[in-house]
Amino acid sequence: MTFSLPRAAPRALRSFAKASARPQVPLRRPAQPLFRRYLATPSSEQPRLRLGSVAPNFQAKTTNGDIDFHQFIGDSWTILFSHPADFTPVCTTELGAFAKLKDEFEKRNVKMIGLSANDLGSHGKWIEDINEISKTNLQFPIIADADRKVAFLYDMIDQQDLDNIDEKGIAFTIRSVFVIDPSKKIRLTMMYPASTGRNTAEVLRVIDSLQTGDKKGVTTPIDWMPGDDVIVPPSVSTPDAKKKFGEVREIKPYLRYTTI
């Protein structure tokens, strides 16, 4: 049995061979604004901000001078929290509340650093308003992130803003919280929409939980507060837990409480 190509096939094959032999001219893409190009960075280059991963380092200008973020952290715990913009109502109440808790955070060896998507001149005038309204003295630094480089590095961007980016080609930042330990590891993240203010008491509570777990080798149950009973991790046997903690209350073999 013979097999033959249609009469037109040889001409098509010759045309394809000629086209393949021509030098290929790369297509030019239209220039994009800087921020759009930055957002188009391949996802493989975006740091993966998983719990336990090292917080990305950066250099930035702040209301307390230029910083290298990892040097700023030093041997302390650190809270990095972002704000959509200066002179906005929810952000103003939040920064005033955090400023009032300065002594509480210092007791726990925690540094605070804020971020808002405006320049330093705007930050300085805004801090005056915050201190006046909240009757406080805000001392922790606020990062100037008008170009959103840090906001993008930490993925503090709302998808809706990316989809409907304004005429300046810049998206708003959301209300993110990153709790970072002295080894520069991310230990906890919280993300809020721009319309919802955070809870300072909850930020303190999770700091207490993380530090208690690190020091005592325990976990904390729902709504735990300092002084409440804690949970013995499943990795610790009951005999070993009794040697370490004393009394252990076994609700189930996998749920055991103790007092520290």
The pLDDT of residue 147 is 85
* CATH annotation of 46-198: 3.40.30.10
Task: For the beta carbon of residue 17, count every other beta carbon within 10 angstroms.
Answer: 9
Does the pLDDT of residue 31 top 80, yes or no?
no
Question: Is 217-258 assigned to CATH 3.40.1710.10?
Answer: no
Q: What is the pLDDT of residue 230?
A: 98
Which of 235, 165, 160 is closest to 194 using CA atoms?
160
Cα–Cα nearest to 115, from 90, 138, 139, 91: 91
Tens digit of each residue's pLDDT (9 = 90 or more) over 36-74: 434 444 444 566 899 999 999 999 999 999 999 999 999
CA distance 245 to 75: 29
Which of 150, 207, 185 is closest to 73 using CA atoms? 185
Mean per-residue pLDDT, 26-37: 44
The Cα 230–Cα 256 span in angstroms is 8
- Side chain identity at residue 188, one-letter code: L
CA distance 202 to 247: 29
Tens digits of residue pLDDT in 159-206: 655 555 555 555 567 789 999 999 999 999 999 887 888 999 999 999
CA-atom Rg of the chain in angstroms? 27
Statement: residue 34 has pLDDT above 50: no
72 is catalytic: no
The two domains 46-198 and 217-258 share their CATH topology (first three levels equal): no
- Catalytic residue, from 91, 156, 179, 248: name it: 91
Residue boundaries of the structural domains of the chain:
46-198, 217-258
Taking only the tens place, the pLDDT of each residue in 113-147 is 999 888 888 899 999 999 999 999 999 999 999 88
Helix/strand number for the chain, H first, E second: 10, 10
pLDDT of residue 13 exceeding 70, the answer is: no
